[in-house]
Amino acid sequence: EPEVTQTPSHQVTQMGQEVILRCVPISNHLYFYWYRQILGQKVEFLVSFYNNEISEKSEIFDDQFSVERPDGSNFTLKIRSTKLEDSAMYFCASKSLMDSPLHFGNGTRLTVT
């Protein structure tokens, strides 16, 4: 069964550094998402992306965050200057149609020290 793949699985970075989290959504999917989960808390929506542009973003997704689909397969989340509170599991997700299930990758655990 096709999967959403995310790399790396773990990333440790120092405060103030830029990080790029990478995702390869399922190949025929059209809608792409980033979510985050702070340890022990619920999964929170960050941003959705469709037709090569951001469709929706939450209040968490401030100017420090950006997303890009640089080619036909990759979908990236960049955090420009990481803060301690950015430490979380970041999930990429995709779906094929408007009314279809969302499929999640295995996540990237980001630790900011």
Partner 1 sequence: GIQVEQSPPDLILQEGANSTLRCNFSDSVNNLQWFHQNPWGQLINLFYIPSGTKQNGRLSATTVATERYSLLYISSSQTTDSGVYFCAAPRSLTGGGADGLTFGKGTHLIIQP
Instruction: Tell me which stretch binds partner 1 (CB under 8 A): 11-19, 21-29, 49-57, 75-83.
Output: 49-57
d(CA 97, CA 95): 6
Q: Check binding of 44 to partner 1 (CB under 8 A).
A: yes
Asked if residue 91 lies in contact with residue 43, where contact means CB atoms within 8 angstroms, the answer is: yes
Q: Which is nearer to partner 1, 66 or 106 (CB)?
A: 106
Burial of 71 (0-12, 13-18, 19+ CB in 10 A): exposed
Q: Which is nearer to partner 1, 11 or 44 (CB)?
A: 44
N-term to C-term CA, the chain: 37
**Do strands 108-112 and 10-13 pair parallel, antiparallel, or not at all (unpaired)?**
parallel
Choose which of 19, 33, 65, 112 interacts with partner 1 (CB under 8 A).
33
Q: Check binding of 90 to partner 1 (CB under 8 A).
A: no
Binding positions for partner 1, rule: CB under 8 A:
31, 33, 35, 37, 41-45, 47-50, 55-56, 58, 89, 91, 97-104, 106-107, 109
